[in-house]
Amino acid sequence: MNDEHVRAVDPAVAEALSGEVDRQEGTLAMIASENHASEAVLEAQGSVLTNKYAEGYPGSRYYAGCEYADEVETLAIERARDLWGAEHVNVQPHSGTQANMAVYLAMLEPGDRILSLELNHGGHLSHGHPANFAGQLFEVEQYQVDAETGYIDYEALAEKADAFDPDIVVSGYSAYPRAVDWERIQAVADDVGAYHLADIAHITGLVAAGVHPSPVGIADFVTGSTHKTIRAGRGGIVMTSDEHAKAIDNAVFPGAQGGPLMHNIAGKAVGFKEALQPEFTEYAEQVVSNARTLADTFANHGLDVVSGGTDTHLVLVDLRESHPDLSGGTAEEALERTGIVLNANTVPGETRSPFDPSGIRAGTAALTTRGFENPEIREVGEHIVRVLDSPEDEGVIGEVGDRVTELCAAHPLYR
Ligand SMILES: *Cc1c(COP(=O)(O)O)cnc(C)c1O
């Protein structure tokens, strides 16, 4: 990729950047929250809009010279409305966490109560972990997945809601492979007079393409990320009804953030335009089909796939039965040596530590972007199983690594 100006000014950073291009080109990105944005999105993100202050919203800014910023943000908003069908969209959150912060700031007072899924069961830090602002400002109670089935325990969730009387119920997860029943969670929230925030950060693209049920129009608030299953560059988004539009806009700016990252909003606009093309639906369908193939491949080789499969882009494997002596962290390290990059993950009923948990999580969004279809995914799944079986066998690591290099070369990204 073109880096002549960086190279002239700062060879050290240029080296790191070209190293990162080579790393993405030459390894299999199976971290479920990652993807590869197009060069069009990268160009927009790398544009002169990084220079522009545009505090406020289109047509009502605190600074002069915002006509092009207005154009870009308006396009991003219109396209987002087309993609998700929300009455109101705010495209300014710097990240998914900032989007969640805006919802909490808009609707809650410090000390109010959040009911959310436990982190070990697939929740997210921004849903109320003690190390995150959400856990520090609010009182948090957590629900779980059924440790047997791996599905959300909706009945236990309803009981928790009755007992805890939350002000907001948070759904939407980081490591949950199954479709979420938004109506059922909305009903729980309604019963206890709580708001419902559906955080679709992982499945933003799947929902846009209609391959996962949408919470838009059901949940009071829907937040998302723009860089996971949709390839619109790093950022967040909040969607809501006209009723809460003003509160959300005020909570994003000036509540939670200063000036919007207009270059990122340009990336969002371009990525949303790409996602409005019919090919994006095919892409999202292939992502899910690939994840199902990966889950089947694992299950056929005796791995314990949490919930028995997947409806999304991700597969969660509990290693405890098949590989009792192998931690997720050791598995991650061995796989990384072959160029298969995924992450260790906690599993329902976790018995190791969050820092070296019992599972691995693998996603198919990035591999599908580079053109992997079911046969290649099956092969990758088989390589993963081989490495899990022999994480210290240099012969296996070398063979799988060579094959990963070939697969990458056959499916170039930015070359
Ligand atoms: C990834 C993720 C987010 C957003 O994370 P950022 O890194 O702040 O963009 C929010 N919620 C969930 C459930 C996620 O998985």
Phi and psi torsions of 386, nearest 5°: -60, -45
Percent of the chain with pLDDT over 90: 97
How far is the CA of 66 from the CAs of 24, 56, 71, 318, in angstroms?
35, 10, 9, 51
pLDDT computed for residue 177 by the predictor:
98
Q: Which atom of ligand 1 is nearest to the CA of 123?
A: 13
Find out whether the beta carbon of 358 lies less than 6 Å from any atom of ligand 1: no
Domain with CATH 3.40.640.10 in the chain: 43-275
- Ligand 1 center to 204 CA (angstroms): 11
Mutate to test the pocket of ligand 1, among 103, 124, 132, 204 (most ligand atoms within 8 A of CB): 124
pLDDT computed for residue 415 by the predictor:
79
| Cβ 311 vs Cβ 178: under 8 Å | yes
The pLDDT-based confidence of 354 (bands split at 50, 70, 90) is confident
pLDDT computed for residue 110 by the predictor:
97
- Given a cut of 90, whether residue 276 has pLDDT beyond it is yes
The pLDDT-based confidence of 285 (bands split at 50, 70, 90) is very high
Of 99, 128, 116, 124, nearest in space to 240 by CA: 99
Find out whether the beta carbon of 201 lies less than 6 Å from any atom of ligand 1: yes
The one-letter amino acid at 250 = N
Domain with CATH 3.90.1150.10 in the chain: 286-410
Find out whether the beta carbon of 283 lies less than 6 Å from any atom of ligand 1: no
Q: How far apart are CA 402 and CA 348, in angstroms?
A: 34
- Ligand 1 center to 202 CA (angstroms): 7
Average pLDDT, the chain: 97
CATH of 43-275, one of 3.40.50.2300, 3.40.640.10, 3.40.190.10, 3.40.50.720: 3.40.640.10
Q: What confidence tens digit (pLDDT) does each residue in 51-78 have?
A: 999 999 999 999 999 999 999 999 999 9
Find out whether the beta carbon of 224 lies less than 6 Å from any atom of ligand 1: no
Find out whether the beta carbon of 233 lies less than 6 Å from any atom of ligand 1: no
- This prediction has a pTM of 0.97
Residue whose token pair is 């419902």:
196
Find out whether the beta carbon of 173 lies less than 6 Å from any atom of ligand 1: yes
Helices and strands counted in the chain (H then E): 16, 15
CATH class of 286-410: alpha beta
pLDDT computed for residue 1 by the predictor:
80
Q: Any bridge partners for residue 141, and if so which?
A: 115
The pLDDT-based confidence of 2 (bands split at 50, 70, 90) is confident
Which residues does 321 contact at the CB level (< 8 Å), separation at least 6?
304
